[in-house]
Amino acid sequence: MELLNQVTQFVISGLATGSIYALIGLSFAIIFNSTGIINFAQGEFVMLGGVLTIFSLNVLHLPLLAAILVAVAVTTVIGLVFERLAIRPLKNATPLMLIIITIGASILIRGLVMLLWGKDTQALPAFSGTDPISVAGATLLPQHLWIFGVTVLVIIGCRLFFNHTISGKAMRACSFNRRAANLVGISVGRMVLFSFVISAAVGALAGVIIAPLTMTAYDVGVMLGLKGFCAAIMGGMGSGLGTVLGGLILGTLESLGAGLISSGYKDAIAFFILLLILFIRPQGLFKKGETERV
């Protein structure tokens, strides 16, 4: 009985952490889907979301909701400026070059945040209290419900946007074939800009809702970004359910690994599974193999 209770707790904790990874994974996938590049500054958008909310709350003395809106808006603008200054001016750059640029940008953003707001870890107050809720013998916090809720909303939003709006479809077209998309009159540049804006906003939102739980500092983006990237890889870089499941599986495996096998090997277990997936199903767990049309 005790073991069963423990396993339920492991799974629920894992799902909670996993949905954080899923949300970050989604924002990776959005940029990948319209540009074919992996934005390694994604973790920094997550960090900015948290740090800027705390700044607006503590220094500008805004109410929580306004602080969140300001943080998401400012991060979105940073995403936009980043695309304009660092990605757009490079004509004919290969994806590899662009990826390296995003790594540079992530180091720059981290450094600036460190200089501006210092190195201390900061905590954001929980949105609706810290009284634990019991579910089937396990406990979780109200903040976890916020994370689940926001993740579900973002997934639905993405799905609607990419499948049912002209801009969303145009963005998908760009990812399949840039030149063809250009030929049918889609402004590829604008779609790339769009994708950075959306992904910065989603990243910032993820950063805001997890900040009360995990706390935030200038360097939290690195690990969260890496885990989100794993989730996206497991889901085959799709901007839908695959990435979300990828994140949830990763979170659950980490938690079960830490609880049942050894907490020292928690990350090793998760990354080992990532490697396995890359070897066996490089197209992702839930994607059919793509056929190259010539």
Which residues lie near other proteins (CB under 8 A)? 2-3, 5-6, 9-10, 13-14, 16-17, 20, 119-123, 125, 130, 132, 138-141, 210, 213-215, 217, 219-220, 222-224, 254-256, 258-259, 263-264, 266-267
Mention every residue, 6+ apart, whose C-beta is less than 8 A from residue 204. Answer: 45, 46, 48, 49, 52, 71, 72, 75, 76
Q: How far is the CB of 236 from other proteins (least distance, A)?
A: 25
What is the smallest separation between the CB atom of 192 and other proteins, expressed in angstroms? 31
Cβ distance to other proteins smaller for residue 150 or 217: 217
CB of 171 vs other proteins, minimal distance in Å: 31
Distance CA 137, CA 4 (A): 9
Which residue, 16 or 181, has its beta carbon nearer to other proteins?
16
- Cβ(43)–Cβ(210) under 8 Å? no
Shortest distance (Å) from residue 267 CB to other proteins: 6
**CA-only gyration radius of the chain, Å:** 19
Least distance (Å) between residue 206 CB and other proteins: 12
Nearer to other proteins, 83 or 254 (CB): 254
Nearer to other proteins, 168 or 212 (CB): 212
Structure tokens at 192: 């790339």
**Closest alpha carbon to 47 in 16, 1, 78:** 78
User: What are the backbone dihedrals phi and psi of residue 140, each rounded to the nearest 5 degrees, phi first?
Assistant: -145, 170
Q: Which is nearer to other proteins, 204 or 224 (CB)?
A: 224
> Is 203:28 a contact under the CB 8 Å cutoff?
no
